[in-house]
């Protein structure tokens, strides 16, 4: 039997996520799979990307307001520069 790689597990996890249909399922599902710390990190990343897309304040101010390192803000900014334009448009439509 072929052993599972981390990438295999991630793809299977994403497949499970796509099958969820109602908000209550999402909460229960992510409570099962993510610790409180992991949820906090995802929330911070979400808030970082949202702030960067809004482009209303300097990156250092975003870092201070969110209580995260400037390196994490820079990482988010760098990723936004390389994602495809369809994903960027989607994010802008959902987050701004």
Domain boundaries defined on the chain: 1-33, 36-95
Asked if residue 1 has pLDDT above 70, the reply is no
- Is residue 13 within 8 Å of residue 33, measured between CB atoms? yes
| Inter-CA distances, 13 with 9, 23, 25, 43, 45, Å | 6, 17, 14, 19, 19
pTM given for the model: 0.83
Residues 6+ apart with CB under 8 A from 51: 57, 62, 65, 66
Q: Could you give the percent of the chain with pLDDT greater than 90? A: 90
Q: Per the structure block, which two tokens stand in for 89?
A: 């448009």
The region of weakest confidence among 3-7, 28-32, 44-48 is 3-7
Assigned fold of 36-95: 1.10.1270
- The stretch 44-59 carries a mean pLDDT of 96
- Work out the pLDDT band at 47, boundaries 50, 70, 90: very high
């Amino acid at each position: 039997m072929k052993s599972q790689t981390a990438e295999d597990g991630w793809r299977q996890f994403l497949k499970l996520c796509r099958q969820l249909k109602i908000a209550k399922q999402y909460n229960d599902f992510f409570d099962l799979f993510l610790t409180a710390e992991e949820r906090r990190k995802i929330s911070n990343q979400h808030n970082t990307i949202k702030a960067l897309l809004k482009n209303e304040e300097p990156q250092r101010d975003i870092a201070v307001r969110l209580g995260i390192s400037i390196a994490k803000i820079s990482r988010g900014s760098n990723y936004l520069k390389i994602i495809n334009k369809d994903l960027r448009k989607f994010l802008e439509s959902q987050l701004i």
